[in-house]
Amino acid sequence: KTPLTTVKAYIEAILAGVCGDREAILAYVEVMQTHTDKMARQVEDLLLHALQELGQLPVTPREQYSGQALRRMLEPLCHAIRTRGVVCVEPAAIPDVLLALDAVRIEQVLTNLVYNALKHTATGDTIRLEVAQEPGQLRLLVSDTGTGVLPQDMPFLFDRYYRGHATSAADGSQPEGTGLGLSICKHIVEAHGGTIGFRSRPGEGTVFHFTLPLS
pLDDT of 136 above 60: yes
For CA atoms 187, 188, 193, 197, the dihedral sign is: negative
Residue 114 pLDDT: 94
How far apart are the C-alpha atoms of 14 and 5, rounded to whole Å?
Answer: 14
pTM over 0.85: no
Residue 43 pLDDT: 73
- Please, what CATH class does the domain formed by 62-213 belong to? alpha beta
For the stretch 78-96, pLDDT in tens is 988 998 899 999 999 999 9
- pLDDT (mean) for 29-33: 82
- pLDDT (mean) for 148-177: 67
In which band, very low, low, confident or very high, does the pLDDT at 177 lie, cut at 50, 70 and 90? low
More confident residue, 16 or 165: 16
Cα 117 to chain centroid distance, Å, stands at 6
CA angle 69, 70, 72 (to 5 degrees): 70
How far apart are the C-alpha atoms of 81 and 37, rounded to whole Å?
Answer: 14
In which band, very low, low, confident or very high, does the pLDDT at 123 lie, cut at 50, 70 and 90? very high
**Residue 147 burial (10 A CB sphere; 0-12, 13-18, 19+):** buried
pLDDT of 180 above 50: yes
Residue 168 pLDDT: 47
**Residue 78 burial (10 A CB sphere; 0-12, 13-18, 19+):** middle
Query: Residues 6 or more apart from 48 whose CB is under 8 A from it?
Result: 57, 108, 180, 184
Of the listed ranges 71-80, 168-177, 198-207, the one predicted with least confidence = 168-177
How far apart are the C-alpha atoms of 36 and 137, rounded to whole Å?
Answer: 37
Mean pLDDT of all residues belonging to the chain: 85
